[in-house]
Each structure stands twice: as structure tokens, then as C-alpha cells.
Structure 1
Amino acid sequence: MKYWRKYLLLIFSVLIFLAASIEEHHALSPEPEKELIQAFQQTLLKQQYNISVYLNSIERQITNTIPSANYATTFSKLNKLFDTEGFGFIIMKDQEMVYWSSNHFSFPNISSRLSGKEGIVVLPNGTYAFQKRLLNHYQIIGLIHLRNDYSYENQFLVNNFVKPFRLPPDFEINTQKDKNSYAIHNLTNRYLFSVVPTGAMRFNNAELYFTAFLYLLGLVFLLLALYRKMDDYHEESFGVKMIILTGILFVIYWIHILFGIPAILNHLELFSAKYYAVTQWLPSLGDFFLLTTLLFFWSLVFVKEFVLHGRARKLMIIPCFLFAGTLYQVVGGLISNLISNSNITYKLNRITDIDQYSISSHLAIALLLFSIFMINLKILEKTEHLINKRTFLSFHLVAVPVSILLCIIFNTPPFYLLALFLCVNLLQVQIRKMHITRFSLSYSILFVSLFSVVSLMVVYKTIDQREIQVQKLMAVNLSSEQDPVAEIFLTNMQEQFNTDSIIPSLLAPPYEDLENYLNRNYFDGYFRKYDIQYTFCTATDAVMIHPENVSEPCFPYFDKMIVRSGTRIPGSNFYFMNNMEGRVSYLGKLHYPLARDSRGLSVFITMTSKTISEGIGFPELLMDRSLIKPFRYKYLSYAKYFDDELVNRSGEYTYNYYLQSYNIDHLKSEFELRKWNGYDHLIYQFDDKTCIIVSNRSLRFVDYLISFPYIFVFYFLVVLLLTLIGNPKLRKLMIPRDLRFRIQVAIISVVLISLLMVAAGTIYYNVKEYQNRHQTDLLEKMNSISVEIDSRLNTVNAISPELRQWLFEELYKLSNIFRTDINIYDVKGEIIASSRPEIFRKGITSERMNAQAF
């Protein structure tokens, strides 16, 4: 029995790895989606039954009570079902929509898209299963939300299956049967649609995370078995043991990297190059964390097995301390490498930006620092009786201030790690004179505080270096004077221009209707940041050139401009005009044939970015994920100067209008970093006339003060957890059983509970206060906007098309003033005008008013 007990951990490890491999094989098998689609079928049948119950209730209510014209009040209880259960309802009376439970799906002419009494309907923002009932003059439509299908994706709009349906987002819904699809049926076993399994991931997240957890658990048991196995080799020298252990750990990591085992990890974002990558040996954040875990295990074995014996042990003192000091530098290099080559946020003074990947990175840093601390402590313990304490103390009393002075002078991570190494040595030797017991609570707090301070300095200094590179990258990108977002939109618009049947009908002087049409349907939204000028030309027309007041033939003039400085945007008839004026400029050419003129008419569209960006910007909700600026640019501000005058700016920093006010006439290099007004300003002058300044808020002392409690608590909890789990002896030292300790625990518990109650009350109060203030702010804005609109429309009796166009422009101006989006609806709940018509045009939501508000 004793023999088998020795291998119990190894057996557990093998069994867990076996279970994980079975789960992985099941998940990655040729048809792993069968169970998922069967579950989807059962869920749909349940949803169909539930919605039929609601439809029966609506039928009875219409038949028995004959609701008044206010259908919104009569059926208001249905309004919340779309958010809670995924059910939507529409009531049509004589082909007029009189009730809708949500404006998410209440698009115009939806009834014409529904063929039969049951099926699926594809709307601009999603796919729905529907049931339709006919009752006298009424059509009652019930919708089951299956998945979101937007025309683009971003952090707010994601194309996926909604709850309670659990299918991978890459799976598609098709109305046609196919050999590679799975048929879905209704309650009467009639065919509805097919689900097509596409994409690399054909299993749900729960199966993915469970399999990954099993592999992690198997690795933990394998390492524990290896840790226990070391006890069987007492006679082997310490050096041989550590070399063999290093070889074993290297083989584990090598097999994982070279053969990609386990393969299921490739489906985790943690093990992708999305957040961190350096080389083939460190291709992801997950691999960095795995390497950190193996190094931590190596340090545990080092602490357990390290001994100095024999006559030459005194000769090993200096090499041991050199080895410990080198480890500090290696760990510092790993930390700097992690931060420099990742796009993860590490700043704890912006706690709202912290996510699970930031926490994983800080945990890896904590394990690395704890590893070298344990090794350093073990070396001090084994050499304590071999060194001359007075000489050791004298050396460190000189070395510590010198290292701190070097940190101040050079301000680089290697010197911070050197100072940390020397401070640990000094404090450990002097710990008894400070009346602090080893491994006590006070001992832990002392060293955790020290490591927290130094790690903050190392992390934030590396972040500073990384952000300078980001500022340089942004400055170079800005110097191109191109707008990639506008170019994507122009490319997408070209197909609409080619198929638009309204534009040819408006090709008649004085072209005001055509200008209004183009502004309203094409060049609003994002293009409001541009000054747009239209020139309408036939082959015989001429244009007046200002300020020379020279007349030139229209077609040759624009053709020369394109040849001289135009670069065509692929897939469109628009050109980037490289005028080198500090402003982004595009020229578009749309040509249409005319019955009266065989050579036709051309519309030349000149777009020039406004001198200083106006308004509140274009919301990320309306932009595809690929067009949104990376997170690393989130807190950066920039200004572009041409001929010493500001032509464009963005961000929270307020720049001077004239560049000369900054006294930067003589720059020593292409990039120059200067500080003023609490910001780090990177100045990039790439030609004689154009200068770009990219600014980032400097780290202040208060930022370190804000960050320290977070990092201290995090490190302390990690150390406490690892110590309590891994070392029973230290557990007894850290948690004594005497009366003094119990009194301390009682006092700390009372204070902690009191603080938690105060904190909870404060958070609740702040949240309620914020909600009330936000509601009050909205009401004040609503009243102000209402007064503005009333004063401008007090003489208007009807809404004409011209007035609607005017309203669109006015609402955009008011939205910039009040910094909020504004929609105007009629008494039937239909949109009249909006400051953001793109939301409705892109099909994010319908043009109906929110049902609850209506």
C-alpha cells in the first residue's frame, strides 16, 4: 500500500490527462457539433411552445376585451420579454403596425417578409423564427430571436446566437437544406431551416474551458508528483538534481511549443498572439504564464533541496549571491519583455481598464518576484552562519544607498532590481533587530510592501518606454495625411452610387435637390468632419479658379489635379489628394450619361477635413471593429500644424493655435520628447511646413499612490494563498494559536467588517446618486432641446421634406451643443428626424420609438 501511495499523485495526473484528452478528442472530432445542434433543436421547440402560449393570450385579449386605440398600454406587459426571454411581438391592424414590444425588430413592411404562418425571417440586425396568427382585421406576429446578424461588428455589436441558444458564433442559419447542414423542425416536425456548422470552433465555451482546466489540473498533479519524487534521491548532489529537473521542465515546455499539445489550447485567446507574442518560444500570453509556472516550480524545488556542505562551501558564498542577483535581472528582463511586447493595460490607476488578461499578467509578475525572493531567502539562510555579519552589513549599508542613487540617476528597471536585491539582503539580516519574527504577518507585510514599490517602478517605467514607441507610431501614421476610415466608407459607397436610381433623376440645374440628397444619404455621419463641395460639370462647362479668377475647362482641370497629386482608392472613383497642406483631402468623380448630351455629366466631390475637428466625434457604435482606433491610442491626444498654424487636433489636451508659442524652432532630431503642463509631448517634424505633436499624460506621484494599494493587496493575497497551501510549517508560524493572536484577529475582523459595510454603503450611495444625477441631466437636456425646437418651429404647421432635411442638420448641431443624440418621433412612434440617422440606416435598430417610452 505504501508503494502505491508514493505514486498516487502521478496516477491522478495520468487519469486527469486521460480524461482531458478524451474531452479534447470529443471536442475536436470530425462532427462535434451534433450534440450542440440537438440541444439547439430542443431549446427551439421549448421557445416555440412558450411563444404560442403568449400568442394565444394575445388572441383572447383582442377577442374578449377589444382593446382601445392605445395598444401600447394594453400589451405593455409584453415589452420586457424581448430582453428577458428573447420574444418579440407585433400587432398589425389593416396592414398598419399598431403595437410592437421592442424597436429592435419593428422594421417597416415586416409583414411582407413573413411567408406562411411559421418560418424564419432575416432582418437587418438579426435572424428570427416567427409564428403568425390572423384574427379578423389583425395580424399577430410572434418572433423568437435566434441570433444577431449586423452588417459589421465591434465591441457593442457582436454577431452571435443569443440566449438561450448555445451555438458557436460562426455557425450559420440557412433556409435551404444542404448535405453539410443540419435540419431544424418545428413542433409538428415540419422543416423550418438548417444550421450550417462553419468555423474552426465547433463546440461551446463551457467544453473548451473545462478541457483546458483538466489539462491544467493534470499539470499541477504532475508537478506535485515530481516534487514528491525528489525525496527519493537524497544521495544525489543538489547540482545534479537541479540539472535533471531543468531538463524535465524544458522537455515539457518543448513538447507543448513544438507539437502544440494540447491542441485545444489553440482555441483560447490566452494562447493566441492577440495580446502578447515575441518569438516561437514565447508565442502567447498563455505560454508566458506556463513558463512562469514552471520557473516558480523550479524555485520551489531549489528552496527545498538547496544545501551547502563540504570544505568548499565558503567558496560558494559569492557565486550563490551572484546567482541570486542574476536571477533578479532575469526576472526584470522577463517583466520588461512581457510589458513591451503586449497590448495589455497594466496601469492600476485606471482600474476600469483592467481585464482578465491584465490580472493574468500581474499574476505572472507576482509568481516571478515570489520565486526569486524564495531563492534569495534560502541562500541567505544557508550562508548566514558562514559570512562575516559585520562585513556583510557594512557592505550593504553602503551598497543600498548607492543603488538607490543609481536608480534616481539612470531610472531603468535593471537598477531597480539591483536595489531590490540589496534591500532584501539588508532587511533579512536585520530582521531580528527589528523585533519581527520570520514569516510572521508583519514580516510578510514588510517584504510585500518592498516588492510592491519596486515592481510598480519597474512596470511603470517599462510602460513609459512602450508608450513613447506608441506615440512615435501614431505620429508616423498621422503624417500620411490619409483617413483609412473614410476610405473604407468611400469604397463601400461606390457600389451604392453605381446602383442608385434616384441620382440620375436629379441631374437637372440648379442641382440643389441633388446636393441635399447626397448630403442626407451619403455624406452625413462620419463625413461631417469634412468640408464638402460639389461641382457639376458637362463637357462644355468651365470652372472659376480662385483667387486667380481664371476660368478653365471643367473636365481637363479636374483630370490634371488627379494626375498631379491623386492616388486612387481601390474599388472606388475617389482619389486621395496628396496636397501636403496638413489637411486630409479627397476628390471623387461620378459620371452619368445624359439624354441631351452624349458626353454626359460629372459630379466632382471635393472633400477637405475641417481646419479643427468639430463636434463630439463619430461613435464607435457605428464603426466596424477594424476601423476603430486601437486601445493603445485611447488616452493619446494629437495636434497637426501646417505653416505653424493648427489644422487638426484630437483628444483631451488643449493645444495652442500657433506652433511658435511652444518654442520648438530648433529640433535636434526627427523625434523629440518634451514635457509641459503635466504631459509628455512627442514632437515629430517630417518636413519644413508640417509638425505633429502627440501627447500623453505624464505619470504623477499620485498615480503611484493610487496604484500601490491595488498591487499590495494583490501580491499579499497571492503570497498568503501560496504560503498557506504549500507550506504547513509557515502556516503555523503565520497563524499562531495564542490569545494575543486571537485578540488581533478579533480587532482586525471588526475593523474589516466595518470598513466593508461602509464601502458597500458608499458604493450604493454613489451609484444611486450617479443614476439620479444622470436622469436629472437628461431631463434638463430634454427640456432645453424641446424649447429650442419649439422656438424654431412655432410657425410650422406641417412637416415637409425640406423641413425634415433642415431638422436633420439642426439636430446634429444641437447634439454637439448638448453632447447627446436626439431623435424626434411623431405621435405614431415613427421617426421624423435624428441627429444620428446612421443608426437606423445601418439597421442597428428600427425607426420605431422604444416601446416602453411610447
Structure 2
Amino acid sequence: LSDGTSPTINHFQKVLHKKEQRLQDEMLVLAKRAEKQNYSTLFSEKPNYYNTLLEKEGLALLIYENDTLKFWSDNSIAVENWIKEVCLDTKMVKLHNGWFEVMHPNSNSTTTKTVVGLILIKNEYPYQNNYLVNEFRKDFDLPAETKLITDPPQADSNNAVKNYKYDYLFSLKFDTTTSSVSTLSYISVFLNIAGFLLFILFLKNITSLLQKRIGKNRSLILFIFLVGLFRYISIILSFPESFYNFNLFSPQVYADASSVWLSSLGDLLINVLLLFYLSYVVFTEYNFDNLFSRLKSLNKLAISLILFLCFFWFSWIITTLFTGLIKNSNISFGINNLFSLNQYSYIGIIIMGLLLFVYFLFADKMVSVLKLLGLSTKQYILVFLLSTAVHIFISHFLGTLDLVIIFWPFVLILFIAGIKKRQITYPFSAIILLVFLFSLYAVHIFIKHIKIKEKENRKVHIEKLAAEQDPIAELLFQDIEKELVSDSILVSYVKKPTEFEKRIKQQYFSGFWEKYVVRIALFDSMCVPIILSPNIAFDNNLYFDELITDKSVPTTCEHFNFLKNTSGKISYLAKLPLYKNYKARAKYGTLYIELDAKFISDEIGFPELLLDRNIGLSQELTNYSYAKYKHGQLINQYGKYSYNFTGSNFDLFANYYVFIDKEGYNHLLFRPDPETLIVLSKRSEGLIDKVTIFSYLFAFFSLLLLTILVLRQISLGRILENFSFKYRIQVL
């Protein structure tokens, strides 16, 4: 299957051309109405219609009269009077909140009113969060991560987008390194899965035909070997390729370098499904009578010891996989908050449930084998104690000191042995108790290792908080400096200082820069202040020059200096030339821009709405409380926890990293230097949180078990057949 680039462009242009025709009709109607009606009437006649035009169809209408914006169909489009002169005479325009195609009605030349139509191509905000996302309109049906390029296309470009007049607008660049989940991709995956299943069925039939020659058991062993070999080759070759276009098979979600079998969450899922299937085949079709007859001729005590050690080794593998799934992934396993889970979270829980089910099958069959060996009670106890001692010694040698992880296999095997001693099948109460036991074990793994991972991540967060410089701001300012210095229009606003400041802040310091207080000072070539400040000291350019000389640190950007201060807040000072004519380098004066960091709790009422997704740290800290002390005094704080004005509560803990529990919170203390103390706090999980996690896992494992039982009955062709009324009630 092809990557679908050309069909995607064709579909995109068809949708765009329909929008252009639709907008052209709307502009002609509006132009006629504007000649007969005043603007108040235009606003009031069809308010609901115009207000939803952008949201539903991606269309917007503007009317300018004498260079002044008089009418707009939607107030969410960031246009101003001066933008018309700069941008709206082109076919494409980049506004503050997105890319738009610009259109004008075919007949609008004999009037002072100018109607402008805009087609939203792509939302593109200065910063992103859960509510503001840079993406193309949904009706264009473009793959994720597609980029819009306005550079002139190559002569042989197949990705150029043209309007209905066949004029070039822009090009689309598709990201081949990430998954482009299109219909063709899903079809390809479906066909590959079907082919994979048919190939497994083919191997099963081929090996079954060999039963008469090599025996039933050997044919099953050959089948397992061939399936394992095929799976290994497919992992090495990343086959089928269409699988690896999805994030499920991306190492960004999960990867464990310790084994080739654990290269991604998708690979692990396939491996576990195959293990589950092969285990079921072995336990239902393998003839254990021959094995039992051979085992009786061997040393029964040695065989029992080996079986117990294999059982404990299997439990160690499961624990390692569980902990690796938590530690080596970006998957959220906050089960007590279902809204924080995603599709990968549920896949991870399914993997855990299937592994535990396979482990149960192994334990059940092992107990059956041990019963057939016919050892005495003393011999069973001796072998059990000896294997226990070996298991504990190896666990301690490998660094496992958790008693729950060490001893939970003993509880499981003793429970199964007690049931099998009295009856052949498992009663409903025993099944509930088994699910209860597995859920307790899984809850313990979740709580312990999620807590360990969270603490390690918190150390990273607190080091970022301790670093008072902002590397992202320094990187972004490099681009701003180039644009600001070469801005030919900026100098025309000098005579209106208020407009001058507004132009700079709106054009260059919106979005990400909202977390800074921006102050601007401008001096002409004679060092006369153009923008007067309430503080007289700020009206002297020497004040800023001294700050740069005596109290600043150079950054990666030449004209952007980090200011050292005792407040603990991030501060920068930029010194830039302002040109009358940039090409001739005719200098008008000097521009100083001072940036002082705000703090989230003081400045932003809805932080989840305004936090930038690309910044990362700010969003990650929304579930934490934070405080910073300088010389024992609180200089800023954020979050729900109430910190003291002095750091006396934490003075006794002067180590590099210290975790303490206090007032229902777990606090991480960090001293980057003797004068500074940073505290990063997270609410401790109580008993209710643990019970909630257990309840969800118990319900999920019960549902998974019910699904497996139903599928088994379907495969045998006896769904609910011969089930007693009592059993049906239990199933429901």
C-alpha cells in the first residue's frame, strides 16, 4: 500500500475548493448588504449564523472601510487595522491563531468598503495546551504532524496545494517518521493481522499432519518453536512495516533495551497474546500422561524441586515485566484517576492480566504434576522449604528485598494446592479469591513502582526549578531578535509610545511570553527617553547599561542577558538597536526590554488553560505544590499546600535530596546552594486511594477473566450450553 500522499492532496484541494466557492457566495451577499445597511444592522441581523460560521465551516468575513475594521463575523480571529496593509493583500496569511487563505469578492472595486474572506486552514497558536492545539481543520482529514510550507514549490512537487484558480497557495509536508493514521493504514494493519493469524493456523495444521510420524507432543513442540522463530524474525525485521507506523510500536511509549522481545508496547502485546495462546494450546492438547510416566522413572524429589524453582522463576519474570512496564514507559498508570488513563494504559493492564492468567495455568498444571508424583507429605514439605530458601537467597542476591514480591507465589501455590486436594474444578468462590489475590499483587506493584518513578521524576523537576535561567526563553528570543530588529513598521509607532509598546508585546511577546512581565524602555540616538516611566531611574539608559555590565550573565543569545537577583525569579534584559532603515543600518535609538517571570498562582486564574504544552515543566507541576526560600525567607510559592513564611520547618534537613512526610504531603527538599531551599510537594496517597486502585483492578481482571471464559466457550461451540442456572447468575 502506498503512503497516500497524492490522494490526500486531491482530497484536501476538493474540500478547499468547495470552501472557496462557499466563501465567494457569502462575500457577494455581504457586499450587497453592506451597501444598503449600516454596520449595527449587519451585526444584529444574523448573529448566530455568523458566530458559528468559523466553528462549523472554517469561514470568516471582514469589512474594512477607509482602512478601519468595521465588521467581523467572528471575534476569535486576531486581526487589527495595520494587519490589512501588511498581510491581507496576499493569498495566504499567518495570523496570531492560525493560517488562513485570503479571498476578495469578484465585484467590489467601486466602493470604499473592502470585503475580505478568510478560510481557516490550520490552527497555529503561539503556545499549546489541552485546549489550544496546532492542527489542521478536521474536514481536511490530514495525518497528524503534517506541516504547512509557504515556500515556492519545486517544479516536480506533488504536495503543492492550489486554489480553484490554480494559483499556488502552499505545500504540505508529511512526516514519514511518525504514524500517519489514515484509512489505508488501518486497512494495511487489518490485512497483516489476518495474514498473521492465517499463517499461525497454517503452521498448526502443518505440524498436526506430522503427528503420525513424530507424535502429538513433538508436533506441538515443533509448532511452538516455529511460532517463536517466526515472531523473532518479524521483530528483528520490524515486520509488518505498517505496524511500526503506529505509536503503539514506538519506543517513545515503551521500550526496554534489556531484550529484543520488549522493543515496544505493541511488540510486548503481541508476544503476550502469543504466549497466552501457546499456553492454552499446550495445557489443552499436550499429552501429559507420557510425561508423567517418564518422570516417575526419574528422581521425584529432584523433579519437584525443579518445578518449584521454575514456578518461582516465572514469578520473578512477571514482576520484572510489570516493573519494566511502569519504569520504562511514558504510560500513565494512575488507576485511581480514570480520566488520566489512555489507550496505552488499558493495553498495559491487559498485558498484566494475561501474564497473570498464564502464570495461573502454569501453577495449576504444576500442582497436578506434583500430585501424580506421589510424594509423601514430609517430602513435599522438604522440597517446598528447600525451593523457598533458594528463591529467597536468589531474590536477595538480585536486590529484591520486598517481602510481598518474594512470598506472594507461596500463597498462590498453597491456595491452588488446597483447592486441588479437595476437588477437581474451581468453585466460584475460589475463582473470586484468586482474582482477589492477583489484584492485591498488582496493586502492590503499581503503588510501589509508580511511587519510585514519581520520586525520580520529581528530582528532575526540582533541578529544573532550581535552574533560575530559562533555556527555552533564550532559544526563542534568538528568532524574536532577528524579526524585531528588522521590523520596518515598528519605528512608525515611536510617536505614539502606547501603540509602540502594544505593537511589541502583541507581535513578539504573546503566547509563551505571557509568563513574563514585559517592560519596555526606548531611547533615541541622543539618549533621550521616548517612553517615560513612573520610576525616574528607568528614564536613564545608564541604569540599564549598568545592570547589563554589573548584574547580568551572558546567555546563548548575544543581546539577551540574564539578571542575577535575590528574589529567586527569572529576569532577563535585552538591549537592541532600533533602525529607521534596517537595510541602510540607519539607527534611530536603543531599545531595552526587561522580562520578569510571573508566578502561576499569582498571575493566572486557570493554569490548565494557559499552560504551554511545549514547555512541559509547567504542565507537569500542576499536580504539585512548590516553594522557594532564600536566606530562610519564602520568596514565592504555588499550589494547594500552605508553606510557612520561613523555612524553619525544613532547616534540619540540609542534605542534597531529602523526602519527608508532613501534613498529608510528601515533600522533596533540595538545596542548590547554602542560601536557597526548594520544596516540591505532592499529596500523599491515603487508604482510600489504595482501595480505589484495588477496586478498579479487581473489576478489570474480573472482566478480562469473564471475556476469556466466554471466548473459550465460543471456540468450543457451547456458549452457556449445559450451564446451570446458578452458574449463569454468577457469570452475570
**Fold conserved (TM > 0.5)?**
yes
Distance of 1:207 and 1:132 partners within structure 2: 38
TM (norm. structure 1) is: 0.68
Give the aligned partner of residue 836 of structure 1.
none
The equivalent residue for 1:754 is none
Alignment of 1:434-583 (within 5 A): 438-439=425-426, 441-499=428-486, 526=513, 557-558=546-547, 560-561=549-550, 566-570=553-557, 572-577=558-563, 582-583=568-569
1:132 corresponds to 2:105: yes
Cα distance in 2 for residues equivalent to 1:198 and 1:584: 38
1:126 partner letter: W
| 2:693 is the alignment partner of 1:707 | yes
- Once the two structures are TM-superposed, the CA of residue 462 in structure 1 deviates from its matched residue by 0.8
Give the distance between the partners of 1:399 and 1:293, measured in 2 at CA: 34
Pair 1:97–1:567, CA change in 2 (3 A): closer
Moved more, 124-133 or 646-655: 124-133
What's 1:252 paired with? 230
* Cα deviation 1:494-539 (Å, max 9, x = unaligned): 235424568878999xx99988987787778846656969797999
Q: Is the 8 A contact 1:449 1:712 kept in 2?
A: yes
Cα distance in 2 for partners of 1:507, 1:96 equals: 21
**Aligned-residue offset at 1:285:** 2.3
Would the aligned equivalents of 1:183 and 1:191 in 2 still touch at CA under 8 Å? no
Give me the whole-angstrom Cα distance separating, in 1, the residues matched to 2:102 and 2:293: 78
The answer to whether structure 1 residue 269 and structure 2 residue 247 are counterparts is: yes
Supply the distance in 1 between the matched residues of 2:501 and 2:278 (Cα, whole angstroms).
72
| Deviation at residue 461 of structure 1 after TM alignment | 0.7
Separation in 2, partners of 1:299, 1:210? 30
3-state SS in 2 of match to 1:309: helix
Between stretches 704-713 and 459-468, larger displacement belongs to 704-713
Report deviation, 1:183: 6.0
Name the CA distance, whole Å, in 2 between partners of 1:479 and 1:440: 58
Aligned to 1:657: 645
Alignment of 1:342-353 (within 5 A): 342-353=329-340
1:424-823 equivalences in 2 (<5 Å): 424-431=412-419, 438-439=425-426, 441-499=428-486, 526=513, 557-558=546-547, 560-561=549-550, 566-570=553-557, 572-577=558-563, 582-590=568-576, 614-616=602-604, 619=607, 625-629=613-617, 633-662=621-650, 664-667=651-654, 669-726=655-712, 736-741=722-727, 744=729
Return the alpha-carbon distance in structure 1 between the equivalents of residues 590 and 345 of structure 2.
54
2:290 is equivalent to residue 303 of structure 1: no
2:412 match: secondary structure: helix
Q: Is the 8 A contact 1:33 1:197 kept in 2?
A: no
1:212 is aligned to 189
Contact 1:399 1:422 in 2 (8 A): no
Amino acid at match of 1:78: Y
For the 8 Å contact 1:349–1:706, the answer to whether it is kept is yes
Structure 2 residue corresponding to 1:76, chosen from 29, 47, 51: 47
In 1, Cα distance between equivalents of 2:220 and 2:562: 63
| Contact 2:27/2:115, CA 8 A, preserved across alignment | yes
Distance 1:505 1:139 in 2: 24
In structure 1, distance between residues paired with 2:663 and 2:561 = 40
- Rounded Cα–Cα distance in structure 2 between residues aligned with 1:355 and 1:739: 38
What runs of 5+ residues in structure 1 fail to find an aligned partner? 1-22, 542-550, 750-854
Distance 1:560 1:78, change over 3 A: closer
Aligned length: 692
> For 2:598 and 2:94, how far apart are their aligned partners in 1?
40
Question: In the superposition, relative to structure 1, how do residues 197 and 630 fare at CA in structure 2: closer, same or farther (>3 Å)?
Answer: same
**For each residue in 1:767-824, what CA deviation from the matched residue of structure 2 results, as whole angstroms up to 9, or x when unmatched?**
xxxxxxxxxxxxxxxxxxxxxxxxxxxxxxxxxxxxxxxxxxxxxxxxxxxxxxxxxx
| Contact 2:99/2:122 (8 A) holds in 1 | yes
The alignment status of 1:172 with 2:160, answered yes or no, reads no
Kindly provide the amino acid, as one letter, of the partner of residue 182 in structure 2.
N
Measured against aligned partners, the alpha-carbon deviations of 1:226-279 in whole angstroms (never above 9, x if no partner) come to: 455554447768996787566534533432333222223332122222222232
Distance, in Å, in 2 between the alignment partners of 1:225 and 1:218 is 10
Query: Matches of 1:210 and 1:484 in 2, distance apart?
Result: 44
Query: Structure 2 counterpart of 1:209, which letter?
Result: Y
Q: 1:78 to 1:635 in 2, by over 3 A?
A: same
Q: CA deviation at 1:617?
A: 7.0
Displacement of 1:708: 2.2
- 2: distance between equivalents of 1:555 and 1:607? 13
Distance of 1:530 and 1:303 partners within structure 2: 69
**Following the alignment from structure 1 to structure 2, what is the Cα–Cα distance between the partners of residues 670 and 528?**
29
Residues 717 and 605 of structure 1, relative CA distance in 2, 3 Å threshold: same
Contact kept in structure 2, 1:611 and 1:647, CA below 8 Å = no
Task: Pick one of 127, 136, 145 that aligns with 2:120.
Answer: 145
Question: Equivalent residue of 1:375, what SS?
Answer: helix
SS of residue matched to 2:100: strand
Instruction: Note if contact 1:684-1:692 (Cα within 8 Å) is conserved in structure 2.
Output: yes
Q: Distance in 2 between matches of 1:358 and 1:129?
A: 44
What are the Cα deviations for residues 161-220 of structure 1, in whole angstroms up to 9, with x where unaligned? 323222335253658563214566666x65464644543279652222332233233333
Shift of the 220–155 alpha-carbon distance from structure 1 to 2, 3 Å rule, reads farther
Work out which structure has the larger RCO, using CA pairs closer than 8 Å and 6 or more positions apart in sequence. 1
- Write the letter of the residue equivalent to 1:561: D
* Sequence identity percentage: 24
CA distance in 2, matches of 1:106, 1:637: 35
* 1:379 lines up with 2:363 in the alignment: no
Residue of structure 2 equivalent to 1:88: 60
* More moved, 342-351 vs 472-481: 472-481
Residue 852 of structure 1: aligned partner = none
Q: Which residue of 2 aligns with 1:812?
A: none
Deviation of 1:473 after TM superposition, in Å, equals 1.4
Tell me, what secondary structure is at the counterpart of 1:248? helix
Query: CA distance change for structure 1 residues 382 and 619 in 2, over 3 Å: closer, same or farther?
Result: same
Q: Write the letter of the residue equivalent to 1:723.
A: L
Conserved 8 A contact 1:535-1:603: yes
Q: Deviations over 1:510-569 (max 9, x none)?
A: x9998898778777884665696979799999xxxxxxxxx998688446426xx61323
Deviation at 1:330, TM superposition (A): 0.4
Query: Any residues of structure 2 matched to 1:197-208 within 5 Å, and which?
Result: 197-200=173-176, 205-208=182-185
- Note the C-alpha offset of 1:380: 1.7
Q: CA RMSD in A?
A: 4.9
Pair 1:728–1:381, CA change in 2 (3 A):
farther
Counterpart amino acid of residue 11 in structure 2: A
Partner SS, residue 431 of structure 1: helix
State how far apart, in whole Å, the 2-side matches of 1:58 and 1:605 are.
44
> Mapping of 1:368-407 within 5 angstroms?
368-387=355-374
| Aligned-residue offset at 1:691 | 2.2
Paired residues of 1:33 and 1:202 also in contact (CA < 8 A): no
Which structure 2 residue ranges, 5 or more long, are not aligned? Answer: 529-539, 581-585
Q: CA contact under 8 A between 1:529 and 1:613: conserved in structure 2?
A: no
Alpha-carbon deviations, 1:472-502, whole Å to 9, x = none?
Answer: 2122222322223443454444235424568
SS for the counterpart of 1:683 is: strand
1:290 to 267, 270, 278: 270
Aligned pair 1:340/2:327, yes or no? yes
Check 1:213–1:646 CA distance in 2 against 1; reply closer, same or farther (3 A cut). farther
- AA of the residue aligned to 1:101: S
